[in-house]
Structure 1
């Protein structure tokens, strides 16, 4: 993100009628999300949360210097899909040979042969595994690949690149067949 904020969690559906919400935390320890204190949304509003039970929290918005809790189901419903960020500086530095997934966005994607493929534009993680979306230099629909050691054997954040070794099912298809799959909505 250009403003150096990192997505840390997303508010889900309401839980009950007293303003509790389900929260999807992207921290290594999901409970640690509450430790960051000032979580911001895209509009710059500041929130904090206090866990009520596993995955369920009470959300409080900082408004005019006061803490205003989300107090009822209607207010909780209005928070559904609210994305919560922290400034990059609030996160600990990555260890050597480690990186944050957000560090991958903007990296050059190269084939094992050295051919330039494009640029990583999005990192998807829907719970079943992380995938990378690559805007192809040649244009056309983006390439979406699983983010595994087999498919992405090299991640060089300092060098500004990743090396991609697409699955054989995709790599072995002629270009026109790949385009047909993509035009039909199939993801390689």
Structure 2
């Protein structure tokens, strides 16, 4: 896994016919995506970005040329945009980048029994969840909350999990609704 680059955005669908695209920024403040310097994609191409509206951006290649039109913008859909890790601030003591969790071993709190490795960090808008699994471990998806993961120590390479008895989702489950995920019970 490439730990030198951090995924900070994804190109969405085209906007209009002049080569503009929607960009889904993973920065705490979406507009800050432009503050971290050059962006690179999974193919190693270098891009710069200029916001043109709420979530709408103009992408320019390394030569400074914008996307030529809607077809060029369509070819960029789902392109991942990365920044150099050195361009980002160091996380505070109780913070980390999700990419640092991928591949870490997870153990059950109290018993130290292995539960697997972090395979994927999911964020579909209803809260972050971690998918655990790996050699000899059944796949398991847990909400990434303090109730389920009371210890996340990236420096020590340690994640401890409490398996909940129940996972409850509350709120409006419609397309634009807000939900809250909580875990209850479990060994503590």
1:9-20 equivalences under 5 Å are 9-20=9-20
CA distance in 2, matches of 1:38, 1:128: 30
Select the structure that is richer in strand. 2
CA distance in 2, matches of 1:5, 1:55: 22
1:155-180 CA-to-partner distances (Å, cap 9, x unmatched) read: 1112211111122038xxxxxxxxxx
CA distance in 2, matches of 1:70, 1:54: 19
Aligned-residue RMSD, C-alpha: 1.5
* Match of residue 49 from structure 2: 49
CA distance in 2, matches of 1:36, 1:97: 22
Q: Does 1:99 align with 2:96?
A: yes
CA distance in 2, matches of 1:26, 1:158: 23
Gaps of 5+ in 2: 168-188
Change (3 A) 1:3 1:111: closer
Q: TM-score, normalised by structure 2?
A: 0.83
Secondary structure, aligned partner of 2:166: helix
Q: TM-score, normalised by structure 1?
A: 0.83
1:22-55 CA-to-partner distances (Å, cap 9, x unmatched) read: 0000001100001223100011000011000110
Misfit runs of 4+, over 3 Å: none
* Match of residue 128 from structure 1: 126
CA distance in 1, matches of 2:41, 2:96: 23
Gaps of 5+ in 1: 171-188
1:134 shift after superposition: 0.9
* Match of residue 180 from structure 1: none
